[in-house]
Structure 1
Amino acid sequence: MLTTAPPRSPADALAAQQQRVAELLTAAPAAALRSRRLPDAEHVRLVGSGHFPAYAAELAWTPHEVAGHLRDSARVFTARVARLRTEDDPLLPDFDPTAADRVAGYAAVPTSRLLDELREAQAGLLAAVRGVPDAERARTGRHATDGALTLGDVLDFLPGHQRDHAEQLAALLR
């Protein structure tokens, strides 16, 4: 008799992908984090997957820039989860991950500090996601450009977003 594993919760799926990201970044030589660029074949493979069709510019990033983005997005999504849990129909501001000043700012952060900040932000995001009871998944908000969404939509997006960037890091650090 075949048994199937129960579906993973968004928190468990997120934790697994965050662990993968951490392992990839920790195992990489420090110099590679600031210099590696995605090979053309990997760019072609990734540009059609996950969230990259809408955010193809992210594929030009170095591993250091990916780490900066994941730090920033963890902070943004932690705040979104909190607002969706505590406010009635909040308006959530847009977050442009490819804004030139944002991406350029990552270079100013020493790699060791950036990785520490990433770990802290990722832990905060995971704690926020783990703290959401199923009964709150239907809470609603509005994204400034994407429109109506639920807390469940956000929770379901996060593991895939993390997976997409883990795949990007794996390709960058081969």
Structure 2
Amino acid sequence: MRPTEGTYATYFEHYISLVEEQDVKDALKNSTEQFFTFIDSLPKDKADFAYAKDKWTLKEVLLHITDAERIFSYRALRFSRNDTTPLPSFDENEFIHFANAGKRSLQSVIEEFKTVRNATLSLFNSLDDDELTRKGISSSQTCTALALGYIIAGHSKHHSNIIKERYL
């Protein structure tokens, strides 16, 4: 099953539209395989490259994907457990500002993402259809755990497209 209109903020439509699979667990599994292969091929000499002034470096983009995935997974966990407490948004620019990407190796950033993605897979593999369709509020918008899984898969695909176009 795919997320339907009204189960996520329209802002996330782009990410969801990038996902071809009809099952969230397949989408995350396939996204993982593709993204792991992609990030393992990234050239180390591009780690601190930014394609324009005031744009993130490659390491910062990867840390952004990791931070966002942690937050989206946390939201999915809360919603799947029927927690209806409204959750706040986050400012990805502030997160990156304090991420200390410049002090880290590209490999450490990649390994951190892999650890987070494996935890995401474990979470979503444990959820049944009822848990996936439970709703919550984040950033003042209704969302389901299912939609968050598609957002996670599409978000990494979106950024891999940007990396290919602008960083390599």
Q: TM-score, normalised by structure 2?
A: 0.75
Q: Is the 2:132–2:144 contact (alpha carbons within 8 Å) kept by the matching residues of 1?
A: yes
Q: How does 1:45-124 map to 2 (within 5 A)?
A: 60-99=55-94, 102-105=96-99, 106-124=101-119
2:159 to 162, 165, 169: 165
Q: Is the 2:51–2:166 contact (alpha carbons within 8 Å) kept by the matching residues of 1?
A: yes
Aligned residues: 147
**Partner deviation per Cα, 1:22-70 (whole Å, 9 max, x = no partner):** 22221122111221527xxxxxxxxxxxxxxxxxx9xx32221111011
In 2, the alpha carbon distance for the partners of 1:31 and 1:10 equals 35
1:35 to 41, 49, 55: 49
Larger Rg, first or second structure (1 or 2): 1
Paired residue for 1:152?
146
- Change in CA separation of 1:121 and 1:31 when aligned onto 2, cut-off 3 Å: same
In 2, the alpha carbon distance for the partners of 1:28 and 1:102 equals 20
Question: What letter corresponds to residue 137 of structure 1 in structure 2?
Answer: L
Q: Which runs of 5+ in 1 are unaligned?
A: 1-5, 39-56
In 2, the alpha carbon distance for the partners of 1:28 and 1:155 equals 25
In 2, the alpha carbon distance for the partners of 1:146 and 1:107 equals 33
In 1, the alpha carbon distance for the partners of 2:38 and 2:147 equals 27
After superposition, the CA RMSD in angstroms is 2.3
Identity score, percent: 20
Secondary structure of 1:34's counterpart equals coil
Secondary structure of 1:35's counterpart equals coil
* Segment of structure 1 superposing worse, 29-38 or 6-15: 6-15
In 1, the alpha carbon distance for the partners of 2:78 and 2:29 equals 21
In 2, the alpha carbon distance for the partners of 1:7 and 1:170 equals 22
Structure 1's consecutive aligned runs of 4 or more residues displaced over 4 angstroms after TM superposition are none
Paired residue for 1:134?
129
In 2, the alpha carbon distance for the partners of 1:7 and 1:160 equals 11
Question: What letter corresponds to residue 80 of structure 1 in structure 2?
Answer: R
- Change in CA separation of 1:61 and 1:11 when aligned onto 2, cut-off 3 Å: farther
Question: What letter corresponds to residue 146 of structure 1 in structure 2?
Answer: S
Q: Which runs of 5+ in 2 are unaligned?
A: 1-19
In 2, the alpha carbon distance for the partners of 1:107 and 1:15 equals 30
